[in-house]
Amino acid sequence: MSRRVETVVDHLESAIVQGVYAPGTRLPGERALGTALGVSRATVRDALAALVSRGLLQRRHGDGTYVNDQAERQMAEVWVDMAERHPALQGDLIEFREMLESRAAELAATRHDAADRERLLAALAAVDAAYNGEDRAAQIRSDVAFHRAIAEATHNPLFAYLMNSLLRLLHEHVQLSLAGVAPHSDTARQLRVQHRALAEAILARDAERARRQAGGHIDFVGVRLNAMRRPPARR
């Protein structure tokens, strides 16, 4: 995260905490915020994405960005509390993420519109570039944005909300992150191939293929990168 983005994040977070932007309030648009803060729209967009991933803000499809109410902010912390109380939770989280993302990919394949398509293609380009480089922060940011774009394309706000809070936990708290891999490595290459295959299946409106690609990708995350096996079957 660049210093300018961090400055905007700090400004908006302080404004939210101080009640300048009350719970449920719709934030000004990116252009207006950028003009008021003297930064570019891209900087504002990255700052808003960071606050969405922290659970402070919520994007509503076609309606803008809103401040989460207190209950929603508390819910965003549930994942963190669970991880602290259950150190062996990582395997279960991967299992849950596979279920969530497989279904999200299916729905995104059948429900995405032109705006979703544009957003997903931009997210794919960003994540591809990030995994072709060495910037860990860029890898994390772009990976979260890619999976969030899929969740938003379901047009079911619960998917977007759960995905945001879960990815926040995985990346910031239990470190089950895809990021930090060496560029040009086999792992980086496979990640780029997986992201592209998933996006292509969704954009082709092939729900079954999208589901398989999402499941295979999360399996790769859990087993290959984190040396984790699936939790044993519960009897």
CA distance 194 to 212: 11
Given a cut of 80, is residue 118 above it in pLDDT? yes
Is pLDDT of 207 > 70? yes
- Reported as a single tens digit per residue, the pLDDT across 25-48 is 899 999 999 999 999 999 999 999
pLDDT confidence tier of residue 178, bands split at 50, 70 and 90: low
User: Which residues contact residue 144 at a Cβ distance below 8 angstroms, ignoring those fewer than 6 apart?
Assistant: 49, 53, 164, 167, 168, 171
Residue whose C-alpha is closest to residue 94's, from 235, 233, 226, 234 = 226
Give the mean model confidence (pLDDT) for residues 112-118.
Answer: 94
pLDDT at 53: 78
- The better pLDDT of the pair 92, 133 is held by 133
pTM of the model: 0.63
pLDDT score of 76 more than 60: no
How does residue 233 score in pLDDT terms, banded at 50, 70 and 90?
A: very low
**Tokens 């072709």, residue?**
132
Coil, strand or helix at 225: helix
How far the first Cα of the chain sits from its last, in Å, is: 45
159-187 per-residue burial string, b: 16 or more CB within 10 A, e: under 16: bbbbbbbbbbbbbeebebbbbebeeeeee
Cβ-proximal residues to 19 (8 Å cutoff; 6+ apart), any chain: none
- pLDDT, one tens digit per residue, over 149-165 is 999 899 887 887 778 76
Q: Sign of torsion, CA 150 105 194 90?
A: positive
- Band (pLDDT 50/70/90 cuts) for residue 181 is low
Q: What is the pLDDT of residue 174?
A: 41
Separation CA 59–CA 48 (nearest Å): 9
